[in-house]
Amino acid sequence: EAEVAQSPRYKITEKSQAVAFWCDPISGHATLYWYRQILGQGPELLVQFQDESVVDDSQLPKDRFSAERLKGVDSTLKIQPAELGDSAMYLCASFGANVLTFGAGSRLTVL
Amino acid sequence: QKEVEQNSGPLSVPEGAIASLNCTYSDRGSQSFFWYRQYSGKSPELIMSIYSNGDKEDGRFTAQLNKASQYVSLLIRDSQPSDSATYLCAVNARGGGTSYGKLTFGQGTILTVHP
């Protein structure tokens, strides 16, 4: 079964450090999303890519977050510097055949 | 007012009972509606999608949509302990094109099915 791959699964960092998350969508899926899910809440969209282009990053805190998908396949989400409030699950999802499929997520803890 | 609201939980039902999960949304132009199940520490997985008014059944799950009332529900019949999870309602506001996966989620309802 096709999967969305994410790494790392868990990341613990101190505030002010830089962190990066990687995502490889299901093969052939042109549309990729990064969502953030704070414990006890639903996922919130951070950024949407169509191939290598950003379609929507209106909810991305651009002073500290950046996202790229240089070759239109895998994607990286970076946070620099990390803050305590960034502790959350970062979920990558890709869209195809009318289905949005999530990866296993990257759990970030900022100390 | 939140864009997508779910009934406050947690919801506890006995094994074999019907669990009813409710969701309202604010954007009347919303096109697509989804229910995701999320086990603790795991990522959401799609269990139902519904696009038109009425009921849609899939095994023990039935999704109901009433666009006039801006209301979506999920019924789980013959609930099993393995159904214990957080259920997320998600809405695609405009649908079409590249925005299909651009979902707004509710806060989730925790369901516990006890033996």
Contacts of A108 in chain B (CB under 8 A): none
Nearest CA in chain B to A107: B41
Answer whether residue A89 shows pLDDT above 70.
Answer: yes
pLDDT at position B96, please?
A: 55
User: Model confidence at A96, in pLDDT bands (50, 70, 90)?
Assistant: confident
pLDDT at position B52, please?
A: 92
pLDDT at position B95, please?
A: 56
pLDDT at position A99, please?
A: 85
Residue B95 sits at the chain A interface (C-beta within 8 Å): no
Nearest CA in chain A to B89: A42
pLDDT at position B110, please?
A: 96
Q: Determine the residue among A34, A102, A106, A107 to mutate to test chain B binding: the one whose Cβ has the most chain B Cβ atoms within 10 Å.
A: A102
pLDDT at position B94, please?
A: 65
Please tell me the distance from the alpha carbon of residue B63 to that of residue A96, in angstroms, as a whole number: 22
Please tell me the distance from the alpha carbon of residue B65 to that of residue B45, in angstroms, as a whole number: 20
Q: Is B46–A45 a contact, with Cβ atoms under 8 angstroms apart?
A: no
The proportion of chain B whose per-residue pLDDT surpasses 90, expressed as a percent, equals 80
Contacts of A107 in chain B (CB under 8 A): 41
Chain B residues 2-61 with CB within 8 Å of chain A: 4, 34, 41-46, 49
- Please give, rounded to a whole number of angstroms, the shortest distance from the CA of A58 to a CA of chain B: 12
Give SS3 for B82.
helix
Answer whether residue B6 shows pLDDT above 90.
Answer: yes
Contacts of A94 in chain B (CB under 8 A): 101
* Residue of higher predicted confidence among A99 and B84: B84
CA angle (A29 as vertex; A108, B83 as ends), nearest 5 = 55
pLDDT at position B4, please?
A: 95
Q: Is A43–B88 a contact, with Cβ atoms under 8 angstroms apart?
A: yes
Are the beta carbons of B6 and B21 closer than 8 angstroms?
A: yes
What digits encode the pLDDT tens for the residues A25-74?
999 999 999 999 999 999 999 999 999 999 999 999 999 999 999 888 99
User: Model confidence at A101, in pLDDT bands (50, 70, 90)?
Assistant: very high
What are the tokens at A70? 């240089």
pLDDT at position A2, please?
A: 81
pLDDT at position A70, please?
A: 86
What digits encode the pLDDT tens for the residues B69-111?
999 999 999 999 999 999 999 998 765 555 667 899 999 999 9
* CB atoms inside a 10 Å sphere around CB B67: 15
Answer whether residue A11 shows pLDDT above 90.
Answer: yes
Contacts of B105 in chain A (CB under 8 A): 42-44
- Largest interatomic CA distance in chain A: 40
C-alpha radius of gyration, chain A, whole number: 13
Q: How far is CA A27 from the centre of its chain?
A: 17
Answer whether residue B5 shows pLDDT above 90.
Answer: yes
User: How many residues make up chain B in this entry?
Assistant: 115
Please tell me the distance from the alpha carbon of residue B73 to that of residue B58, in angstroms, as a whole number: 14
Residue A50 sits at the chain B interface (C-beta within 8 Å): yes
pLDDT at position B42, please?
A: 95
